[in-house]
């Protein structure tokens, strides 16, 4: 057992901090470019949704060192989040668009994401994992991956998928280490994305 770090479910009160942590990593993924307010709403919606969940890894002082988010049914999750938080998300995305109009292209592409992911009939998906830079290489990524698999198991999920930029060596390595099976690649925002599946 790891006594330096603990895991617990993410709460709505954590979401603003978690959104800030995610926002700082702009080099990967599209959604962070829509800003902290947008991300914070999305994550609060994830904590509220029956089809979403998040797990935080905390240090001894209860500071969030890293986190994962996932869904047990991607399409139902998106519909639910849009219903719960869509108006506020659209508002914050619009404010961001006023500052950065070229984001519109990314938004249009992103709307097609659930369709790009619907080929393989696996509904559950691991959405994201981030470890704060100062906490990296201390096995928190491994702790979060194990906790995520356990949470999927508790929720009765038999298999889930995960997407990672193929150039993201560290994350791809964690997937291979845990026995995820590589399925295919696709292109999102000009980036090659690996799709993996995990059978529980």
Ligand X SMILES: CC(C)(COP(=O)(O)OP(=O)(O)OC[C@H]1O[C@@H](n2cnc3c(N)ncnc32)[C@H](O)[C@@H]1OP(=O)(O)O)[C@@H](O)C(=O)NCCC(=O)NCCS
Q: How far is the CB of 135 from ligand X (least distance, A)?
A: 6
Instruction: Report CA dihedral (138, 11, 107, 92) to the nearest 10 degrees.
Output: -120
Burial class (CB in 10 A: 0-12, 13-18, 19+), 169: exposed
Name the 3-class secondary structure at 112. coil
Taking the C-alpha atoms of residue 61 and residue 103, their distance in angstroms, rounded to an integer, is: 38
Q: How far is the CB of 138 from ligand X (least distance, A)?
A: 6
Q: Which is nearer to ligand X, 169 or 192 (CB)?
A: 169
Chain residues 4-43 in contact with ligand X, contact rule CB under 6 A: 25, 28
> Does position 136 bind ligand X by CB under 6 A?
yes
Burial class (CB in 10 A: 0-12, 13-18, 19+), 128: buried
User: Where does this chain touch ligand X (CB under 6 A) — which range of 36-44, 98-106, 124-132, 186-194?
Assistant: 124-132
> Does position 137 bind ligand X by CB under 6 A?
yes
> Does position 169 bind ligand X by CB under 6 A?
yes
Name the DSSP letter for residue 180: P
Taking the C-alpha atoms of residue 43 and residue 85, their distance in angstroms, rounded to an integer, is: 10
Q: Which is nearer to ligand X, 173 or 181 (CB)?
A: 173
Q: By rule CB under 6 A, what count of residues binds ligand X? A: 21
The residues binding ligand X (CB under 6 A) are 25, 28, 128-131, 136-142, 164, 168-171, 173-174, 177
């Amino acid at each position: 057992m790891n006594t330096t770090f603990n895991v617990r479910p993410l709460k709505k009160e954590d979401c603003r901090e978690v959104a800030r942590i995610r926002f700082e990593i702009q080099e990967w993924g599209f959604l962070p470019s829509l800003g902290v307010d947008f991300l914070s709403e999305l994550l609060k919606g994830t904590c509220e949704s029956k089809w979403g969940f998040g797990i935080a890894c905390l240090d001894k002082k209860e500071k969030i060192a890293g986190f994962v988010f996932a869904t047990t049914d991607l399409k139902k999750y998106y519909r639910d989040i849009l219903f719960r938080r869509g108006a506020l998300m659209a508002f914050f995305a619009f404010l961001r668009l006023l500052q950065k109009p070229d984001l519109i292209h990314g938004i249009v592409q992103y709307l097609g994401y659930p369709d790009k992911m619907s080929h393989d009939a696996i509904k559950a998906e691991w959405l994201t994992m981030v470890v704060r830079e100062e906490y990296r290489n201390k096995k928190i990524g491994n702790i979060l991956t194990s906790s995520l698999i356990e949470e999927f198991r508790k929720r009765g999920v038999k298999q889930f998928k995960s997407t990672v930029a193929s150039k993201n060596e560290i994350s791809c390595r964690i997937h291979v280490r845990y026995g995820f099976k590589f399925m295919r690649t696709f292109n999102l925002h000009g980036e090659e994305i690996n799709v993996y599946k995990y059978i529980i």
